[in-house]
Amino acid sequence: MTITGMTSKEVTKKIFDKEELFILDVRNESDFKDWKIEGENFEYLNVPYFELLDGVEEIIKKIPTDKEVLVVCAKEGSSVMVAEMLSDAGLNVSYLKGGMKAWSEHLVPVKVGDLNDGGEIFQFVRIGKGCLSYMVVSNGEAALIDATRMTKTYFDFAERIGAKLTHVFDTHLHADHISGGRLIAEKTGATYWLPSKDATEVTFGYQPLEDGNDVIIGNTIINIHAMYSPGHTIGSTSFVVDEKFLLSGDILFIDSIGRPDLAGKAEDWVGDLRETLYIRYREVSEELIVLPAHFMMLDELNDDGSVSEKLGTLFSKNHGLNIEDEEEFRKMVTENLPPQPNAYQEIRQTNMGKVNPDIEQQREMEIGPNRCAIR
Amino acid sequence: MDNIKANGILDAKGLACPMPIVKTKKAMNNLDAGQVLKVQATDKGSKADMKAWAESAGHQYLGTIAAGEVLNHYLRKSSDEDATEKKHPNVINNEDLEQILGSNENIVIIDVREAAEYAFNHILSAISIPLGELEDRLNELNKQDQIFVVCRTGNRSDLAAQKLTKKGFTNVMNVVPGMNQWTGKTTGIHK
């Protein structure tokens, strides 16, 4: 039997289509427990590759023959080895091309809406890590919001739709992933906007983003309105795009809210978080469609793989928006917080331009889920 | 800083997963029980995998020292030392030794584990004389001193204590169980 490589794109399609898949994950038990490929109808078996060096007899009975089987490891090498052993034993299996590293870097563009006068807004779903970035397109111009470091994906996409990148925004100084904003701005000449309160330590030039700033994309057609919304970080800023969409950054998610502790200031910022979610956000239209910078669980994905919900719906359904008691709210967002994202301090330093890790180091730093939310 | 003695060295530099572990497994087969292997690797994931593999295979993962791009992993091949019967009559348990240490810093403690085991973690005042070198280094010791001998599980130190007694040392105590359950102060290279 021959083994075949399955791409991250193919695995993503299986997730969106809710297909069945049996995943044999041959990474360390701790790595598997920490972070894996999630699918509604996926089954798992985790046996580290180094326990299979002498043969696969021990596990062969646990692997179904009536289902598609995918062997997964960190970088591909071990999954190829195990897949070959299973193939020699008569099974028909695939391995994940590029391993979890490729999985972490895979971006899927999904159109989430039409804007005024032919404009469009796209969501780039980083399915493996749960990060969401956005491209607002209008009249041959495009703006990026919360871009990842996989800059080529955006360049290729912009070229395909014939748009020129003119503005790049980060809603805040990210702690879970390395921003592509600076690099994109350097390569395209686009303006890089950062909330000034998050950018006090950055080592490069940027355009300070303030509450009330308006940026026009494509000849006065689409308006991006900045709305100061601190709480996840002191500078966190949301954007209202075309009076239709609310890009909420890491402040408000579909089934959770942002955590205030990743810059080390949980106690200080809990009040800001409360004010943003319970006062500022209630002053805008409930008809706005919320587009967050993350998702945590597959339940948060719509059928087309996109992540969005009407603000009014979140006001009634999102637990974090329904805690009347301030003390209870304070406790929820400052106590029993989930573990912090992998290497979050180094990631913040990188996004400030203070350190310049190479691509391999950047990949290592970003391993794992985003962990920016509290539920 | 990295000149810790090992019985074998494996060059796994430039190799990607799974090869560092595949090669380590083979190299381990060529060592005797209880011997130490140094593995040089550049794959960053090799540290977590070495540790997890060693645990699942029953070997001891001693630690890793990074030298530039290279990660030097130290592993000790499994041995059946836990099971062996101890023969030296004079023993002291970890807690009692810890108490003595607290009141008298000038006692003699000999750590007879391999140099690499000692390097990563040992009792502050212990001196390193691996069991295999003991015979040649008796002149470093004083026959009248009270000597405490420690190893990982109390077995190698039992052999060392017997040997010292045979050579005319009169006040030798075997520390049981030894370093694998030592909760007192230690020092060593940070793992």
**CATH code, domain with B14:** 3.30.110.40
Let me know: does A104 contact A360? Beta carbons within 8 Å. Answer: no
Task: Report helix, strand or coil for B133.
Answer: helix
CA distance A100 to chain B (A): 12
More confident residue, B164 or B85: B164
Q: Are residues B170 and B105 in the same domain?
A: yes
Q: Is B151 a catalytic residue?
A: no
- Residues carrying CATH 3.40.250.10, chain A: 4-103
Q: What average pLDDT score do residues A118-145 get?
A: 94
- The one-character DSSP state at A15 is H
Domain count, chain B: 2
Q: Are residues B64 and B142 in the same domain?
A: no
For position A299, what pLDDT does the model report?
86
- b/e sequence A213-250, b meaning 16+ C-beta within 10 Å: bebebbeebbbbbbbbbbbbbbbbbbbbbbebbbbbbb
Domain with B68 in it: 8-76
Q: Are residues B151 and B180 in the same domain?
A: yes
For residue B2, is it within any domain?
Answer: no
- Residues carrying CATH 3.60.15.10, chain A: 107-374
d(CA B75, CA A166): 55
CA distance B16 to chain A (A): 7
pLDDT at B1 over 60: no
Q: Are residues B123 and B52 in the same domain?
A: no
Task: Report helix, strand or coil for A153.
Answer: helix
Determine the CATH number of domain A107-374: 3.60.15.10
pLDDT at A223 over 80: no
pLDDT at A24 over 80: yes
Is CATH 3.40.309.10 what the domain over A4-103 is classified as, yes or no? no
Q: What average pLDDT score do residues B142-150 get?
A: 93
pLDDT at A111 over 60: yes
Q: Concatenate the DSSP letters of all residues of A191-215 into one string.
A: EEEEEGGG-TT--S--EEE-TT-EE
More confident residue, B135 or B103: B135
For residue A358, the chain B residues in CB contact (below 8 A) are: none
Residue B143: give its domain's CATH number: 3.40.250.10
For position A134, what pLDDT does the model report?
97
For residue B1, is it within any domain?
Answer: no
* Banded pLDDT at B94 (limits 50, 70, 90): very high
Q: Are residues B48 and B115 in the same domain?
A: no
Let me know: does A196 contact A208? Beta carbons within 8 Å. Answer: yes
Task: Report helix, strand or coil for A342.
Answer: coil
CA B151 to chain centre: 7
In chain A, what's the furthest Cα-to-Cα distance? 66
Give the residue from B42, B76, B110 where a domain finishes. B76
The tokens of A250 are what? 């890491």
For residue B39, is it within any domain?
Answer: yes
CB contact under 8 A, B19 and A75: no
- List, in sequence order, every residue forming a beta bridge with B67; answer none if it has no partner: B70
For position A263, what pLDDT does the model report?
79
d(CA A191, CA A19): 42
Q: Are residues B120 and B155 in the same domain?
A: yes
Q: Virtual CA dihedral for B149, B154, B155, B161, nearest 10 degrees?
A: 20
Let me know: does B2 contact B51? Beta carbons within 8 Å. Answer: no
Residue A18: half-sphere exposure toward Cβ, Cα within 13 Å: 7
Let me know: does B104 contact B131? Beta carbons within 8 Å. Answer: no
For residue B152, is it within any domain?
Answer: yes
Give the residue from B76, B101, B118 where a domain finishes. B76
pLDDT at A221 over 80: no
| Residue B19 vs residues A274, B43, B49, B51, B76: alpha-carbon distances, Å | 51, 10, 11, 15, 19
Q: Is the sign of the CA dihedral B5, B10, B13, B18 positive or negative?
A: negative
For position A118, what pLDDT does the model report?
87
Q: What is the pLDDT of residues A335-358, one digit of tens each?
A: 878 888 888 999 999 999 999 999
Q: What is the ipTM of this complex?
A: 0.79
Q: Are residues B64 and B102 in the same domain?
A: no
| Residue A243 vs residues A216, A221, A224, A338: alpha-carbon distances, Å | 13, 12, 8, 34
CA distance A28 to chain B (A): 7
For position A367, what pLDDT does the model report?
86
Q: What is the pLDDT of residues A305-331, one digit of tens each?
A: 899 999 999 999 999 999 999 999 999
CA A45 to chain centre: 26
Task: Report pTM.
Answer: 0.84
Q: Are residues B113 and B25 in the same domain?
A: no
Contact residues of B toward A, CB < 8 A: 16-19, 21-22, 25, 44-45, 48-49, 52-53, 56-57
Active site residues of A: 73
Q: Are residues B38 and B121 in the same domain?
A: no
For residue B84, is it within any domain?
Answer: no
Looking up tokens 């404009």, which residue turns up? A119
